[in-house]
């Protein structure tokens, strides 16, 4: 994929994630600053997702750990666990909110 294709795809993915989190969990703050999407809970816990253009990856970080996702087919897949970014993000939201969240 070209750099331009990556940037467009990563941008649309961050927009979709932001909209999905805002719709599923109104008790969290979702903020977007450039390449960085931050999800913050009342207790200060944060999930940060950003695009890494040089490696063509999306990175997700929280106190629970960090993940690097690369494009595989039509999904962003963790380079180690092979779980998708939406699976991991849903699991983190479910754990923090104490209720099932599926994105």
Domain ranges in the chain?
3-97
CB 50, CB 37: distance < 8 Å? yes
pLDDT tens sequence across 18-75: 999 999 888 899 999 999 999 999 999 999 999 999 999 999 999 889 999 999 999 9
Class of domain 3-97: alpha beta
CB 67, CB 59: distance < 8 Å? yes
| Residue 9 pLDDT level (bands cut at 50, 70, 90) | very high
For range 75-98, the mean pLDDT = 96
What would you report as the CA-atom Rg of the chain, rounded to the nearest whole angstrom? 13
Under DSSP, is residue 37 helix (H, G, I), strand (E, B) or coil? strand
Question: pLDDT value at position 96?
Answer: 93
């Amino acid at each position: 994929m070209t750099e331009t294709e990556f940037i467009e795809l990563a941008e649309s993915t961050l927009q979709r994630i932001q909209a999905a989190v805002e719709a599923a969990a109104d008790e969290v703050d979702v903020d977007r600053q450039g390449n960085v999407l931050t999800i913050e809970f009342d207790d200060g816990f944060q999930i940060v997702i950003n695009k890494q253009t040089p490696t063509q990856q999306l990175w997700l970080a929280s106190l629970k750990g960090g993940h690097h996702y690369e494009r595989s087919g039509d999904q962003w897949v963790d380079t180690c666990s092979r779980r998708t970014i939406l699976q991991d993000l849903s699991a983190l939201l479910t754990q923090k909110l104490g209720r099932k969240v599926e994105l």
